[in-house]
Amino acid sequence: MTEGLNHIKKELEILRNSILEHDYAYYVLADPTIPDAEYDRLLQKLKKLEGENPQLVTEDSPTQRVGISPVEEFAEINHLVPMLSLDNAFHEQDLINFDTRITERLQKLGKVKENIEYVAEPKLDGAAVSLRYIDGSLALAATRGNGNSGEDITHNVRTIASVPLRLRGENPPKLLEVRGEVFMPKDGFIRYNKLALLNGEKPFMNPRNAAAGSLRQLDPSVTANRPLEIFFYGMGQFDGFERPDTHSGVLELLYSFGLKICPDWQIVVSVSDCLKYYNFMEKKRESLPYEIDGIVFKTNSILKQELMGSSSRAPRWAIAHKFPAQEELTIVESIDFQVGRTGALTPVARLKPVFVGGANVSNATLHNIDELVRKDVRIGDTVIIRRAGDVIPEVVKIVKQSSTKRGKKIDLPKRCPICKSEVVRIEGEAAARCVGGLICDAQRKESIYHFSSRNALDIEGLGIKLIQQLVDNKLVNNPADIYQLTVEQLSKLERMGKKSAENIVKNIEKSKATSFGRFLYALGIREVGEVTAQSIAAHYETLENLMGEEGKDLCEVPDIGPIVAKNIQDFFANPRNQKMVYKLLDAGIHWSKSRSIKPKRTELTGKTVVLTGSLSSMTRDEAKQNLHQMGAKVTNNVSKSSDLVIVGDNPGSKAEKAKNLGIKIISESAWLDLFNK
């Protein structure tokens, strides 16, 4: 590199660092250090120099926030550590019960003598994201998705001004997976909608939809024009630094990296302090510059978090205490029954439209026939409607008006409103069901939609409206028919061009490569959710074993009781279902046999194992798969319940914590010796 070019490179570095510091002061500290005109001058100078020397442009340059070409589709990204959901508390007693569970659990372990310390944080009403920084530079960003993987939205997240493209500090971490909530501030939401109306565009219904919709743009220049913000609230995987001992320490560490933290978090001790903070923030809610729908309480001690652990969907050491749902009055114009995927009939009140909970509501659930009878809702009644966040609006109760003559009572139909099959109620169940199965158009549509959903076969573009067209036009009768669709057939449908049809056929083909667990979940067997499907897949070597004699021992699978076992056996005993399953396999649906290999009995069978450091012989995913084959359970964090820690190069704090807890530590080579026995 010539001396002149070296000089330009140094000048560019000084300019970038200066602009990044001004960005930090403006967007994170809310304390601008220079006038806007001076900032614009620096940015223009940087753009000019980079334009003259394109070979010196870096990915973390402030000029590279926007400028990426539109993408054709959203790729899938696996989270290094799963993004779990949170359990909800709707009443004070729910929060008290949560604190009691933690206290009792920790007392049994001899780890608590006083009130538990919590971190209280406003629960933002936005879109959860995971960002990955490698050597201090932003490398990836993804949506929460199904918790294990999400959509790649790096190109859009880069456009958010408060997201640093490079972390602060002279020694940035090798790896930092950080979690945050993208939101649209209230004033930005109002400004954007006013501009949208002036331009003849459709405004957003609420700030949460605005944030989520803005992140799912194929063209980043569209996202760049949306007034988005972000607050960071936690970490996933990390490498190159010691994790703080407390969650409050994690928040302070993230802030030191230049990551924006919600300023309203607070440490609270005892349930009474939690409730004081909750009530204070509920009163303050309307004056906040951003929307919140509750408070998140997290056990502050990281060690206590690890001792409490997590379920398959949520940590046991945190809870979201939701604010009371918003309610409004409206009138019931009619009541009908919807038929779901499993044939369950749900009474639905059709309402005079009313704006509640940030959306226009014209339908509300009455849950089941028992609830309809208990609430005695009738056509013409004035009712209270409740809606909160993503929860389906519900009829809370009627407002009695003695002067008004009421309509007739609503009875459970004897025949399905869709296919006219018989409606039956099984003793002990709240739901009444249509017995029509897949001859019922409603069940057929919902079954196909479930099959193609993100956590099942994940066929992008095959939404409920398209499925309704496919069924109505007799192109698809069951999930197996999806794989016979052609571009020509799809192109003839309403609002379906050739390019869209080609993309859908491509996505259908792509979905053929799946996993045993996803396939089982996609079949839509009653009571078989994602976790149960994965347990079954791990227990049986092949689908043939599950459908054959070995399938009679389903109660041996963890978390499967006699009712779920019977549902599974009944499903596979049905000739129509058998035919559909074999048709799906004949269409080319397949999965790696190695994913469903039964664990062998080894020295690690039943042991809880943690991997730490860089492995030289294989990837981390391959190591986990091999440990599962050895019968081990693999977790991400070292705790008292851990049995073994396998250490690679540069292991970080996990090895030290294992040593302090007296947990056995072995090297990668020692583990390989065990594996190859």
Q: Any idea which residues carry the catalytic annotation? A: 123
Cβ-count burial 559-576 (b if 16+ within 10 Å, e if not): ebeeebbebbbebbeeee
Length of the chain: 677
Is residue 677 within 8 A of residue 602, CB to CB? The reply is yes
CA angle at 192 for the pair 189 and 195, rounded to the nearest 5°: 150
Query: Could you tell me the CA-to-CA distances from 240 to 525, 586, 639, 649 in Å, in that order?
Result: 45, 49, 20, 12
Phi and psi dihedrals of 427, rounded to 5? Answer: -55, 130
**Sheet strands (E) in 224-358:** 229-239, 266-269, 292-299, 318-322, 326-339, 345-356
* Residue 79: Cβ within 10 Å count: 21
Q: How many CA atoms lie within 13 A of 276 on its CB side?
A: 9
Would you say the C-alpha torsion 665, 667, 673, 675 has a positive or negative sign? positive
- Residues 468, 450: Cα–Cα separation, whole Å: 13
β-pair partners for 138: 133
Eight-class DSSP state of 64: G
Place of tokens 């389906």: 392
Beta-sheet pairing, 633-635 with 149-151:
unpaired
Strand partners, 230: 182
Other CB atoms closer than 10 Å to residue 451's CB: what's the count?
24
CA distance 70 to 569: 48
Assigned token pair, 668? 């990668």
Q: Determine contact, residues 376/348, Cβ cutoff 8 Å.
A: no
Query: Which residue in this structure is represented by tokens 């913000």?
Result: 229
CA pair distance 108, 103, nearest whole angstrom = 9
Name 301's bridge partners.
Answer: 246
According to DSSP, the residues that pair with 424 across neighbouring strands are 433
